[in-house]
Amino acid sequence: MREWVIDLHVHTILSPCASDEMVPPRVLHRIKQLGIDVIAITDHNSAENVAAFMAKGREMGIGVLPGMEVQTREDIHMVCLFDTLEQVLAWQNIVYGHLPDRKNKKDSFGEQWVVDSEGNKVSEVERLLLMGTDLTLEEVVNGVHHLGGLCIAAHIDRKAFSLWGNLGFIPEDLPIDGVELTPHLPRNQTQLNQLIKRGFYYLISSDAHWLDGLFPPQCFAAMDSCNTKALRSALLKKDGCYIRTIR
């Protein structure tokens, strides 16, 4: 058992709102400098850069979990985490089937680049990724679970695209595996009490869209190995596993 330094919400050059510097060598070099052990790649409604980051991560000795940030029908962001590339690509297939087929307007939304493990631009995703799917919250959580993944409610303390922001509460019967708080806001004791009452131990993730958005260690997970099964135990504070955050 050891404490892993984790940042389970990082965007790449594929997300239209992310900067061009978010390519595997530059992101993972910064992650190494910061002393982070494991990141998750979570672009909006797509996982097309996960393979490149996993490959570079293996080369550099940094854990890269395959993931995605899905926008539900309710315009709520959910971080979906898996163990294998096959799982996340199967999930991408489902998400693409529920994403309105609209062409990206690069001038308004930004470019959506697929890169190789060295950060060379390979192709552009033509369909717009930054929009809501027609999958409900329940469908996203159940779909991710069906494939063996974890579903975390993203930046729930932010006003936009979040459970608290959009609904005002965490539905009792929604079987999410955990919640994430943003590093950009002060902690609110009333909100923290709600989490304690529900038994949630929150993650803090950078949600970085550019290199300077990656922060020094702020979230740690005590586990034997870093995979979704162990993370589930840590989020439930089970079997000696736990999540620790700096605030």
Give residues in contact with Zn ion (CB under 5 A). Answer: 69, 77, 154, 207
Nearer to Zn ion, 38 or 223 (CB): 38
Dig out the tokens for 186 from the structure.
């002060």
CB-based contacts of 214, cutoff 8 Å, min separation 6: 7, 10, 27, 30, 31, 34, 36, 206, 208
Q: Using the 8-state DSSP alphabet, how is residue 49 labeled?
A: T
Residue 23: Cβ within 10 Å count: 24
Question: In the complex, what is the shortest distance from the CB of residue 44 to Zn ion, in angstroms, rounded to a whole number?
Answer: 7
Question: In the complex, what is the shortest distance from the CB of residue 179 to Zn ion, in angstroms, rounded to a whole number?
Answer: 13
Which residue has the closest beta carbon to Zn ion? 77
Nearer to Zn ion, 54 or 154 (CB): 154
Nearer to Zn ion, 161 or 200 (CB): 161
Please report which helix (H) or strand (E) contains residue 119, including its range: none
Nearer to Zn ion, 141 or 223 (CB): 141
Question: In the complex, what is the shortest distance from the CB of residue 9 to Zn ion, in angstroms, rounded to a whole number?
Answer: 6
Which residues partner with 204 through β-bridges? 181
Is residue 223 within 8 A of residue 1, CB to CB? The reply is yes
Dig out the tokens for 74 from the structure.
């309710």
Question: In the complex, what is the shortest distance from the CB of residue 203 to Zn ion, in angstroms, rounded to a whole number?
Answer: 13
